[in-house]
Amino acid sequence: MNDPGSAPRPLIEAHQVSKVYDDGMIRALDGVDLSVADGEFVAITGPSGCGKSTLLHLLAALDRPTSGTIRVDGYDMNNLRHSNRFRRQEIGLVFQLHNLLPRLSVLGNVEIAMAASHRPYSERSLYARRLLGDVDLAHLADRRPTQLSGGERQRVAIARALANDPPVLLADEPTGSLDSASVEVVLGLFQRLRAERGVTIVLVTHDNVVAGVADRIVHMLDGKVAADAGGAL
């Protein structure tokens, strides 16, 4: 936690990050620098194929950079030995498709994310209900995902992403498949979670309206940061 009045510490730092595929034929990222402060809400925008999702995957340790360095909450992505443990403890992931398990209830979908956590089994159901309350869905805890709207399913996915109290929430086009009313609800939820929980949020989107709710917009083009609108770091 930062001292009152002090500058927020950088929670995410990427320096000269490159990612290439097919023996260098495809350069998805080309010397990207990015710093995100603790508690900051950053939107990464740009056209399809610009590298924004690739960067998010590297921040989540779903892949490793070809060159350059990435540190997330003190963890060095180049030398990470237990990526699954890192994601479980440090990262909440939200994708465009919610990927909820249809045979489990809404409550079960949130609770199952705690399966390998240190939270006592006896406390998991109660905490899952609390998280559903945080996303205003406690009244639907016993329903199945197929009984929910698209916006409600995405809110369940956000609750699930928070199940292990991660300091970082990474969202890849989380509103891409939602109607405009659901988009407003989900974006309001992100803002509230950041304000109430102090979660650091990095959101990838091609929608400028969605990006506009963030503290800062980073625009990518051809694997590079083309513009960084604001930010004290």
For residues 192 and 208, give the distance between their C-alpha atoms in angstroms, rounded to a whole number: 20
Where on the phi/psi map is residue 23: left (φ > 0), alpha (ψ -120 to 50), or beta?
A: left
Domain ranges of the chain: 10-229
The one-character DSSP state at 85 is: H
Averaged pLDDT for residues 211-224: 94
E strands, 89-173, in order? 91-95, 168-172
Helix H or strand E segment including 69: strand 67-72
Q: What is the pLDDT of residue 90?
A: 93
Topology adopted by domain 10-229: Rossmann fold (3.40.50)
Q: What is the pLDDT of residue 5?
A: 58
Q: How many CB atoms lie within 10 A of CB 26?
A: 11
Most confident of 20-24, 38-42, 190-194: 38-42
Q: Examine the pLDDT at 229 and tell me if it is beyond 90.
A: no
Q: What is the pLDDT of residue 233?
A: 33
